Amino acid sequence: MTQEEAGRLPQVLARVGTSHGITDLACKLRFYDDWAPEYDQDVAALKYRAPRLAVDCLSRAFQGSPHDALILDVACGTGLVAVELQARGFLQVQGVDGSPEMLKQARARGLYHHLSLCTLGQEPLPDPEGTFDAVIIVGALSEGQVPCSAIPELLRVTKPGGLICLTTRTNPSNLPYKETLEATLDSLEQAGVWECLVTQPVDHWELATSEQETGLGTCANDGFISGIIYLYRKQETV
């Protein structure tokens, strides 16, 4: 961590703690609009590893040429996932997000072929069925953000045989959401619409905003909360 990141860490922890406590979607989106100009610097101070880890997971399982693959980055924010995708050769990336200001930051990166304003859970994704070779959603599956009921939309726009990569936090305050999410994921697998390829727990997801959020005490988990990555393959016929 740089000296600058360390200096801003208390402010960042307070801001992220506030974010986790907002459960109303409209309020959450306004919060992200305000946060957008400083988001990248803040999550760097937070040692946020989810974009890199999730894209690593997707990249390892992807079959075929990444240069030819069409990828949808859902809840793309400022474009941190697109940075990781490009580093691994995925160059045809589209993004959607519910925050206009986050999309403004993402557009400035110049990594997306197309960006759309879409509040997943309130409206469908703006793409036809079976469009994408892979769909990835990092950091947005939690209370007050993208609801579990939106998961079928990710499946809808994925090509048969395509990959869907999802993440969520596993810190104490997010456990009720995680349980609901996993019940949704399991029910879709039991229905035969996709198969689970990877379930990857991660201890060091991002710095905790409080000792209670580690679930173990700050020293026991080096001050980090945990998270988890899921990777599914859509069945060829559903």
Q: Which domain holds residue 180?
A: 3-234
Q: Phi and psi at residue 120, in whole multiples of 5°?
A: -65, 135
Q: How far apart are CA 136 and CA 134, in angstroms?
A: 7
The predicted structure's pLDDT at residue 179: 97
pTM confidence score: 0.94
Q: Is 15 within 8 Å of 42 (Cβ atoms)?
A: yes
**Other beta carbons within 10 Å of 121:** 17
What is the reported pLDDT for 114? 97
pLDDT of residue 160: 97
Q: Is 83 helix (H, G, I), strand (E, B) or coil?
A: helix
Tell me, what's the pLDDT at 5? Answer: 57
In CATH, what number is assigned to the domain containing residue 123?
A: 3.40.50.150
Is-contact 75 54, C-beta < 8 A? no
pLDDT of residue 198: 98
List the pLDDT tens digit at each of the 238 positions of the chain.
565 556 678 899 899 888 888 888 889 999 999 999 999 999 999 999 999 999 999 999 999 999 999 999 999 999 999 999 999 999 999 999 999 999 999 999 999 999 999 999 999 999 999 999 999 999 999 988 999 999 999 999 999 999 999 999 999 999 999 999 999 999 999 999 999 999 999 999 999 988 888 765 434 468 999 999 999 999 997 5
Q: Closest Cα to residue 234, out of 153, 167, 169?
A: 153
Which runs of consecutive H residues, i.e. helices, occur in the chain? 3-21, 25-35, 39-45, 50-61, 80-87, 100-109, 151-157, 175-190, 211-214
Give the count of domains, the chain. Answer: 1
